[in-house]
Amino acid sequence: MPNLNINGRNMSVEAASDTPLLWVIREQLQMTGTKFGCGAGLCGACTVHLNGEAVRSCQTSLADAVGKKITTIEGLSAKGEHPLQKAWVAEQVPQCGYCQSGQIMQAAALLSKNTNPTKEEVVAHMDGNLCRCMTYSRIQKAIMRAASDMRTASATGSERRAT
């Protein structure tokens, strides 16, 4: 039985190695925050992190995920307090909310490398994630807010370390 490292825990699963990671996460591990949208890598609703990179779990086989660190929306932060999640609430981003786990995971991969993105970088990074409610402008605002919060936190953290 393959072992998956997901949200910091090792879990054994039972599925054929070509099974899309999406369905293993949703059905076997019953973590339903990761969503099925198109099954073809065209909408981004199923986005998770594989070793910190945003990937489409509907296009990732179980075999490809074994031995890597998988992070889902449930594991992005212990209490749902990632700066992006807080910003998503502050900007009141979600409408139906179905795509938002994927949007947040996609955005988190960007901010983990770049906490000062330009608007163009945000659009380029996020353009593969569809939102049928068309909450795009709030998504942009929330990403900028979270980036700003992360820069402030990191500046404060550096000052503390410096003193």
Partner 1 sequence: MNKHVKNLAPETTDLSRRSFLVGTAATGLVLGYAGSGIDQALAAPAPANFEPSVWYAIAPDGLVTVTCGKADMGQHVASTMAQIVAEELGANWKDMRVQLASNDPKFNDPVLGAQITGGSWSTMMNFDAMSRAGAAGRIALTEAAAASMGVPAGELVVRDSKISHPKSKKSMSFAEVVKSGKATKTFTADDLKAIKLKSPDQYTMIGVSVPQLDIPLKVNGTAKYGIDVMLPGMVYGALVTPPVRYGATVKSVDDSAAKKVPGFIKAVTLDDKTTTTTGWVVAVANTYANAKKAAAALKIDYDGGPNAKLSSESLLTEAKRLQGLSDSGQFFVKDGDPNAAFGTAAKVLEAEYTTNINIHAPMEPMNATAEFKGDILHIYSGNQFATRSGAIAAGAAGIDPKFVVMHQMWLGGGFGRRLDADMMVPAVQAAKAVGKPVKVIYTRENDMTMDFSRPLTYQKVKAGVDGDGKLVALSHDVVSAWPTQRWGIPDFLSPSVDKKGPLDAFTVNGSDFFYTVPNHYVRAIKNEMAHNATPSGQLRSVAPGWTFWAVESMVDEIAHATGKDPALLRVELLDGKGKNDGGAQRLRNTLLAAMGLAGYGTKKLPKGEGMGVACVSSQERATASWTACVAHVAVAPSGEVTVKKLTVATDVGTQVNPDGIRAQVEGAALWGMSLALFEKATLKDGGIEQTNFDSYTPLRMSQLPEVAVNVIANGEKATGVGEPAVTVVAPAIGNAVFNAVGARVRGLPITAEAVKAAMKA
Q: How far apart are CA 66 and CA 5, in angstroms?
A: 7
Residue 5 vs 32, nearer CB to partner 1: 32
Closest separation between CB of residue 160 and partner 1, Å?
A: 28
User: Residue 33 class from Cβ within 10 Å (0-12 exposed, 13-18 middle, 19+ buried)?
Assistant: middle
State the nearest-atom distance from the C-beta of 44 to partner 1, in Å.
Answer: 10
Residue 86 or 156: which CB sits closer to partner 1?
86
Residues that bind partner 1 (CB under 8 A): 15-16, 19-20, 23, 26-28, 30-40, 42-43, 45, 72-74, 80, 85, 88-89, 92-101, 104, 123-124, 126-127, 129-140
Minimum CB distance to partner 1 smaller for 77 or for 115: 77
Output 26 or 49, the one with its CB closest to partner 1: 26
- Report the candidate in 124, 121, 82 with the shortest Cα–Cα distance to residue 104: 82
Closest CB 91 distance from partner 1, rounded Å = 10
Task: State in angstroms the smallest separation of the CB of 162 from partner 1.
Answer: 33
Closer Cβ to partner 1, 15 or 144, answer by number: 15
Angstrom distance (rounded) from CA 86 to CA 91: 9
Q: Which of 48, 62, 33, 150 minimizes the C-alpha distance to 109?
A: 48
Q: Three-class SS of residue 49?
A: strand
Cβ burial of 106 (10 Å; 0-12, 13-18, 19+) is: buried
